[in-house]
Amino acid sequence: MGSVSRKPSAVLWDMDGTLVDTEPYWMAAETALVESFGGTWSHEDALQLVGSGLLDSAVILQKAGVTMDAVAIVSHLTDAVQDSLRTQGVPFRPGARELLRDLRDAGIPTGLVTMSLRRMALSVVDLIEFEAFDIVVAGDDVDNPKPHPEPYLQGAALLDIDITEAIVIEDSPTGVRAGLASGALTLAVPHILPLDHLGAHELWTTLAGRGAEDLTDLFDRVTTPTGADR
């Protein structure tokens, strides 16, 4: 094959916790909502929702005493988090924006695959100062949320690539399971929850200092059959 590394056909990014650290905004919004109905919401309660589909999260919030229908809960929380993003800024995860820009410079297509609502995802994308993504798949674009593979398979279809030629970057167990189930090379970058023992192809403690070349090397290493002529 020569010594040129095989590039992935695309890199598909999770949003919350992987690209941006919006979890504190979500937790604050959940806490305020539950408390407005006289309930209590602990950090442990909030951790249950990390990486979950929004409607699944709404059901847990209903059990905590929020007497609103699930769609209204999702809409309320999305408004609150969008407001935080507008007023407090987009808290990028270490190295994420730099890696994204390096992928764009290297000509590797990128997609954002999130369980947040499309309007929420687009508000984050709009706050990035360069053209960051070729496609966006959001929670309201799919029938089955992560850990189902549908969101990532839809992303590959929109980019017109084979999912096995893509790298998925994820920070939650739910997301890692979705990436693996889709057939993508799945890179786990833990944030709030540990991701060992989930079977991710690679675990990086951070994206800081990583570039497109690191992802190409990873893709080449994982997808080249052992003993193949290089």
What residue segments make up the domains of the chain, in order of their start?
10-21+92-223, 23-88
Q: Which two tokens stand for residue 209?
A: 């200092």
53-65 pLDDT, tens digit each:
789 899 999 999 9
- The pTM assigned to this predicted structure is 0.88
Cα–Cα distance between 44 and 112 in angstroms, integer?
27
Class of the CATH domain delimited by 10-21+92-223: alpha beta
Per-residue pLDDT reduced to its tens digit, 192-208: 889 999 999 999 999 99
Q: What is the CATH number of domain 23-88?
A: 1.10.150.240
Q: What is the pLDDT of residues 110-142, one digit of tens each?
A: 999 999 999 999 999 998 999 999 999 999 999
Cα distances (angstroms) measured from residue 67 to each of 31, 36, 128: 14, 10, 36
Residue 190 has pLDDT above 50, yes or no: yes
Q: Which burial class, exposed, middle or buried, applies to 68 when counting CB atoms under 10 A from its CB (0-12, 13-18, 19+)?
A: middle
The pLDDT of residue 5 is: 72
Confidence of residue 1 (pLDDT cuts 50, 70, 90): very low
* C-alpha–C-alpha distance, residues 135 and 15, integer Å: 13
Contact assessment for residue 168 and residue 15, using Cβ atoms and an 8 Å cutoff: no
